[in-house]
Structure 1
Amino acid sequence: MQGTVDGFSYGLVTPVVAFLMACLGSALGLRCTVRSMVVTRSWRAGWLALGSAAIGSGVWTMHFIAMMGFTVRQTPIHYDRAITFASLAVAILMVGVGVFIVGYRGATGVALFTGGTVTGLGIASMHYLGMAGMRLNGVLEYNTLVVAVSVLVAVAAATAALWAAGRRRGFVWTVGASLVMGLAVCVMHYTGMAALTVHLHDSSGSPEGESPAALLAPLMIGPLVFLCLAGAVVLFDPLMIKGTPDWTPDERKPGVPAHPELVHSLHHPGTRSRRPVEHQASRTPQRR
């Protein structure tokens, strides 16, 4: 017997809130990634780690908020707590690998393709691992083609977001990129859900695991508190106020940013550098 699936049992409330959470995590993660490109190497890993955790937490929270509106009319749905939180770890770790690749190698060529692919696969892995933690009186089956499409959407969204982080620095650009990434992550989620069919067992019984309501508290408290703290770090960061990097041209060597033209745009918003910073620095008179 096939179950009757409803992904919008609360109407547009869960999709809209999920979208906002995905945008928040993406915005914080992209700003941290941009910030990492203009600091010395000793600070870069910290900013990239913060950005990875923000994106991973935002996408994970988005997923389970959206799942609050998912029901199968013939059976209650519970969740395995261990698998549910394991999906959070997978999201942060795999997103982190992709973000670190772009943060240290730059958002171009092979590094961008590799970083975007790993990040996108991390988002997709989080989604399907979280779905594997569902417990109901039946089995889940997926349409392979639709699943493949959802994974491609996740990879494309991640690649585009990392490209945006490496190419543009303005706050407005970051907001636009985070909106696009948030929308793409939501599209990936609901595309994956469209691939799902539920085949119910003949026997009745209550599935094991936590109910959706029991997971609501950690979903809304833990990741939201972290995202608020990350937002405070980004908001009160000196670079956002002064618009200057943490190093001078003479100190640039240990922590060369992935995109040198970033320095020019920070000093001259709305313009693009016509030559690399190294060439500009070479024109500085030598001290004797």
Structure 2
Amino acid sequence: MSATVSNFNFGAVTPVAAYLMACLGAALGLRCTTRSLRRPHRKVGWLALGAVSIGCGIWTMHFIAMIGFSVQGALVSYDSMRTLLSLAVAIAVVAIGVFLVGYRGGTPANLAVAGMIAGLGVAAMHYLGMSAIHTNGTLRYDAVTVTLSVVIAIAAATAALWAAISIHTLWSSLGASLIMGGAVTGMHYTGMAAVSVHLTGQTVSIQPSASLLSFLLVMLAGPLAALLVAAVIVMFDPDMMLAHDQ
């Protein structure tokens, strides 16, 4: 029996919060990349912080959005190890893309390779995170919609990497981060549109959302703390404090 699936169990709260987290990660990543170009002697540190910021932003976007995911007649829970593995994948693949453009430049060929790697990695993070779902049903995916979500992920990653090495002023970076956040969030909800659930067990009448919400909030604590630390480092960097980061 096919179940009714919702991605907006809490209305607009989760998609808006997810979008804002994607924007925050993108904005911090862009500022870190700008600093890596201005300070070659600290390039590794700034690029690494940028990769962590973007990766954590994408991952927190995904799982904040998943707070709004529900399946009528089914209990939903998550495998903690796969959930954490998806975080590691997000950071690792973004790091590959960021370091490629950080050290080899923004030539079309290099951007294409880096964007492909990062985009496929973001898509892998999404679907790995989805594979962590435990429910009394089978998740099925529409192949065409999944392919579209992967294409969006690659395009968003390529645009993000281009912006990271091409856009250096503060306000331009903020504008770019809003666009990037929209693209990444759009990829998530496109991927979720591909999902259908076929119930294989006994249906339930009540979804224990409190326990699920508690689990996801615990999982989100670490990445949110990492984004907070990155924000503090960026905000109190001498370039920002001396108003040179314009």
Q: Can you list the C-alpha shifts for 1:23-58, whole angstroms capped at 9, x where unaligned?
A: 0011101111111112124x1111111011111111
TM-score, structure 2 length as denominator?
0.93
What are the within-5 Å matches in structure 2 for residues 91-102 of structure 1?
91-102=90-101
Contact 2:73 2:203 (8 Å CA) reproduced: no
**Which structure carries more helix by proportion?**
2
Partner Cα distance (1:7, 1:100) in 2: 34
Contact 1:22 1:185 (8 Å CA) reproduced: yes
Q: What amino acid sits opposite 1:193 in the alignment?
A: M
**Counterpart of 1:34 in 2: which secondary structure?**
helix
Alignment RMSD: 1.9
Q: What amino acid sits opposite 1:238 in the alignment?
A: P
**Counterpart of 1:139 in 2: which secondary structure?**
strand
Contact 1:87 1:127 (8 Å CA) reproduced: yes
Q: What amino acid sits opposite 1:62 in the alignment?
A: M
Q: What amino acid sits opposite 2:80 in the alignment?
A: R
Partner Cα distance (1:236, 1:145) in 2: 45
Is the counterpart of residue 49 in structure 1 residue 48 in structure 2?
Answer: yes
**In the TM superposition, what is the alpha-carbon distance from 1:92 to its structure 2 partner?**
0.3
Task: Give the equivalent residue in structure 2 for 1:24.
Answer: 24
Partner Cα distance (1:203, 1:160) in 2: 45
Report the more deviating stretch, 235-244 or 75-84: 235-244
Contact 1:102 1:162 (8 Å CA) reproduced: yes
Is the counterpart of residue 12 in structure 1 residue 18 in structure 2?
Answer: no
User: Identity rate of aligned residues, in percent?
Assistant: 52
Partner Cα distance (2:215, 2:173) in 1: 31
Task: Give the equivalent residue in structure 2 for 1:59.
Answer: 58
Partner Cα distance (2:199, 2:141) in 1: 14
Task: Give the equivalent residue in structure 2 for 1:261.
Answer: none
Give the number of equivalent residue pairs: 242
Contact 1:91 1:123 (8 Å CA) reproduced: yes
Contact 1:77 1:211 (8 Å CA) reproduced: no
What are the within-5 Å matches in structure 2 for residues 121-160 of structure 1?
121-160=120-159
Task: Give the equivalent residue in structure 2 for 1:190.
Answer: 189
**Counterpart of 2:139 in 1: which secondary structure?**
strand
Contact 2:55 2:94 (8 Å CA) reproduced: yes
Q: What amino acid sits opposite 2:85 in the alignment?
A: A
**In the TM superposition, what is the alpha-carbon distance from 1:167 to its structure 2 partner?**
1.3
Contact 1:33 1:165 (8 Å CA) reproduced: yes
**Counterpart of 1:111 in 2: which secondary structure?**
helix
**Counterpart of 2:3 in 1: which secondary structure?**
coil
Task: Give unpaired runs (5+ residues) of structure 1.
Answer: 245-265, 270-288
Q: Can you list the C-alpha shifts for 1:86-142, whole angstroms capped at 9, x where unaligned?
A: 000000001100110011011222111111111111211111000000000011111
Task: Give unpaired runs (5+ residues) of structure 2.
Answer: 205-209
Report the more deviating stretch, 31-40 or 170-179: 31-40
TM-score, structure 1 length as denominator?
0.80
Q: What amino acid sits opposite 2:182 in the alignment?
A: L
**Counterpart of 2:9 in 1: which secondary structure?**
coil
